[in-house]
Amino acid sequence: MDALTALHERVSVPRLTGPAPDAEQCEQLFQAALRAPDHAWLRPWRFLVLEQPGLEQLGELFVQAARSDDGRLTDEREAKLRRKPLRAPMIIVAVSCRQPHPKVPAAEQDLACGAAVSNMLIAAHALGLGAVWRTGEMAYHPVVREGLGLADNEHIIAFLYLGQCQGKRKTLPELATADFFVPWAGPAAG
């Protein structure tokens, strides 16, 4: 698949099944991530690759985090939290590793990590894989951050769920570029 086709046709695929991407596909995804734009070549990211049993352990971390907020979780809520990471055979946790730099603010470093995730989403589509970028409250929870071994300068940017598409890919409506891109001729006269 050529690059423009992958960019124009990519959609999130929330319904995933096994098998997980194989070693060759993973290498393609990883290489795509490392080509993301990055001011000053800081490479302000790292990626945790989870398959079984790591997916189950992530589910347990989600339960621990929720218990730390409310010790009286229902059995149903615990089961739901444990199942969340099992919605795909592989999850890549994208971690922004903010570094002090006089010309590259922390927000720009987070965006670079986000661009790496976006590159992996497009690469997954080009490889015929399904992928979806998820975050949610657990991405920001201190118990999850600590359980994944994040340092104080690190933040979760995405849980990138990967696998084989289960069912049909959704079709997205065509968007008119003129609704989002407009010429600008300078500040309005006041």
Give the pLDDT score at 125.
97
Contact 157, 145 (CB under 8 A): no
pLDDT at 9: 92
Q: What is the mean pLDDT of the chain?
A: 96
Mean pLDDT of 142-169: 96
pTM comes to: 0.95
- Residue 84 pLDDT exceeds 90: yes
Characterize 21-44 residue by residue with b for buried, 16 or more Cβ atoms within 10 angstroms of its Cβ, and e for exposed: beeebbebbbebbeebebeeeeeb
Residue ranges of domains in the chain, CATH in brackets = 7-166 (3.40.109.10)
Q: Mean pLDDT over residues 92-117, rounded?
A: 97
pLDDT at 166 over 90: yes
- Give the model confidence (pLDDT) of 53-68 as tens digits: 999 999 999 999 999 9
Query: What is the model's pLDDT at position 54?
Result: 98
pLDDT at 72: 86
Does residue 34 contact residue 123 with C-beta atoms inside 8 Å? no
User: What is the SS3 assignment for 93?
Assistant: strand
CA distance 178 to 33: 30
62 and 144 in contact (C-beta within 8 Å)? yes
Higher pLDDT, 93 or 173: 93
The C-alpha angle 4, 10, 126, rounded to 5 degrees, equals 65
